[in-house]
Amino acid sequence: MHINKRVGEQTVMLMHEPRIIATTSIVGPKEGQGPLKDYFDVILQDDTNGKDSYEKAESSIMYDAIIQTIQKANLKEDEINYLFAGDLLNQLSSSSFAAREINIPFVGLYGACSTMAESLSIASLIMDGGFADYVIASTSSHFSSAERQFRFPLEFGSQRSLTSQWTVTGAGAMLLGKEGNFPRVTYVTTGMVRDYGIKDANNMGAAMAPAAVDTLYKHFKDTGRDPDYYDIIATGDLGKVGRELTQKLLLEYGYDISKVYIDCGERIFNNEEQNTCSGGSGCGCSAVVSCGYIYKNMLKGKFKRVFLVSTGALMSTTSSLQGESIPGIAHGVAIEF
Residues 211 and 146 both lie in one domain: no
CA of 323: how far to CAs of 244, 308, 311, 318, 320, in Å? 26, 31, 22, 9, 5
- 7 domain-assigned: no
Q: Are residues 166 and 22 in the same domain?
A: yes
Is residue 165 located within the same domain as residue 263?
Answer: no
Buried b (16+ CB within 10 A) or exposed e, 325-336: ebbbbbbbbbbb
Q: How far apart are CA 233 and CA 209, in angstroms?
A: 14
2 in any annotated domain: no
* Count: domains in the chain: 2
Is the backbone of residue 274 left (phi > 0), alpha (psi -120 to 50) or beta?
alpha
**Element (H or E) spanning 11, and its range?**
strand 11-13
Last residue of a domain, one of 177, 205, 229: 177
299: CB partners within 8 A, 6+ apart:
182, 183, 337
Percent helix, strand, coil in the chain, to 5, is: 40, 25, 40
Which is nearest to 114 in space by CA: 265, 312, 289? Answer: 312
Q: Which of 141, 158, 177 is the last residue of a domain?
A: 177
- The pTM of this model reads 0.93
* Same-domain status, 264 and 317: yes
Is there a domain that residue 295 lies in? yes
pLDDT for position 156: 46
Q: What is the pLDDT of residue 158?
A: 59
3 state SS of 249 = helix
The total of other beta-carbon atoms located within 10 Å of residue 319's CB is 13
Q: Which of 153, 177, 201 is the last residue of a domain?
A: 177
Helix H or strand E segment including 61 = helix 54-72
Q: What is the CATH number of the domain that holds 94?
A: 3.40.47.40
- Do both 34 and 138 map to the same domain? yes
> Same domain for 189 and 222?
yes
Is there a domain that residue 277 lies in? yes
Q: How far apart are CA 145 and CA 161, in angstroms?
A: 20
Question: Is 204 found in the same domain as 168?
Answer: no
- 118, 84: one domain: yes
278 CB-near residues (< 8 Å, 6+ apart): 162, 163, 164, 165, 205, 239, 240, 241, 242, 265, 266, 271
Residue range of the domain that includes 255: 184-336
Per-residue model confidence (pLDDT) at position 174 = 98
pLDDT tens sequence for the chain (337 residues)? 667 899 999 999 999 999 999 999 999 988 899 999 999 999 999 988 899 998 999 999 999 999 999 999 999 999 999 999 999 888 889 999 999 999 999 999 999 889 999 999 999 999 999 999 999 999 999 877 666 556 555 554 555 555 665 688 899 999 999 999 999 999 999 999 999 887 877 767 778 899 999 999 999 999 999 999 999 999 988 888 888 999 999 999 999 999 999 999 888 887 777 667 667 778 889 999 999 999 999 999 999 999 999 999 887 878 877 888 889 999 999 999 9
Residue 3 lies in a domain: no
Specify whether 191 is located in the same domain as 111. no
